[in-house]
Amino acid sequence: MEQYYPYIKSLHLIFIITWFAGLFYIVRLFVYQIEASQKPSPDKEILGAQLKIMASRLWKIITWPSMILAVFFGVWLIYMRMFFLADAWMQVKLGFVVLLIIYQFKCHQIFKQLQNGVVKHSSNYMRLFNEVPTIILFAVVFLVILKDGTNWIYGTVGIIIFAILLMMGYKIYKRIREK
């Protein structure tokens, strides 16, 4: 079974990449759907219908299957290397994975609302919401690469600074859009 470890790890990484791609793009589609809902007819109906189709295909054909397969291959990897569960970095990483899965379910809730024509959030809220997986991605990559407890301090400070910079960038972008 050990000879298959690199193949399983490769599949895990491939599905992580497609999962994140789906998460990044679905929320952009939410932004466009919300903005389309505010347009006058017939643009509202034409754009709304097309964006619903795009979101549905992305969500059902790419994002959900990618999440399921990424988690499946991740569990398989943990099964093959159970000793990783004792490592603090792996426990923290799994915590971030749980947060990402919760984010996916929140996206699913928003997806269903928008598919039914219910708009509960602003496009600006969605732009900010779209940064959550970015922060999780940075955190997980640094955890997996560094694995060292001492470097976590720098990594944590770096993630906080990164999040602050994202928020500042968002505020600057919002001001530019409003002009």
Which residue matches tokens 């992305």?
A: 58
Closest CA to 170 of 121, 130, 122: 130
pTM: 0.86
pLDDT tens-place string over residues 106-146: 999 999 999 999 999 999 899 989 989 998 998 888 888 88
Contact 119, 37 (CB under 8 A): yes
| DSSP per position, 104-146 | HHHHHHHHHHHHTT---S-HHHHHHHTTHHHHHHHHHHHHHHH
pLDDT confidence bin for 149, thresholds 50/70/90 = low
Mean pLDDT over 76-87 rounds to 88
Closest CA to 32 of 114, 144, 132, 98: 114
pLDDT confidence bin for 152, thresholds 50/70/90 = low
Contact 175, 140 (CB under 8 A): no
Q: Is 121 annotated as a binding residue?
A: no
Q: Is 93 annotated as a binding residue?
A: yes
Residue 17 confidence (pLDDT) above 70 = yes
